[in-house]
Amino acid sequence: MRIADKTELLVAWPLGLELSWLNGVLLGCRVRHAAGLVPTGTTAAGRSLLAALERYVGGQPTVWPRVPMELHGLPEFTRRVLLTLRDQVPHGATTTYGELAALAGSPGAARAVGQIMARNSWPLLVPCHRVLGADGALTGFSAEGGLDLKRLLLEIEGAVLPA
């Protein structure tokens, strides 16, 4: 297990984004409700991500800054799914696990995509909250806050949710 050389906490109510960096590469992040969090962070990358987070919680369409992410060591399929989601499912849009599998070049791999989403180390930057069940239902969100947080993120983005 790697220990990050820097942890930054970015806060833009109602969300906090905790970033773990090692040698300028983003190892992972965590999304949390911002209540009671004290922001830290002074790196240039952290400031650009904070600006994006502020736009995001303000409901503005947000393209997250591209920061180096620690993708080394991940299986090729995992990298392909994560980058496909990041690059092809924009702010306010949703997809299903099966559709994402097809977009990533592996139709029929919906379950595998679900497992990848459950282990996504970069929520918001790799927007796993935009991935829904085959029937459009909110399913499988393992971040702190669970499905309530997933719903909040989609509402912030103005995504159309099932009734």
CA 107 – CA 47 distance, rounded (Å): 38
CA 146 – CA 70 distance, rounded (Å): 24
To the query of whether residue 128 is one of the catalytic residues in this protein, the response is yes
Please, what is the Cα angle at 141 between 69 and 143, to 5 degrees? Answer: 55
Catalytic residue among 49, 50, 128, 153: 128
| Chain length of the chain | 163
Catalytic residue annotation: 128
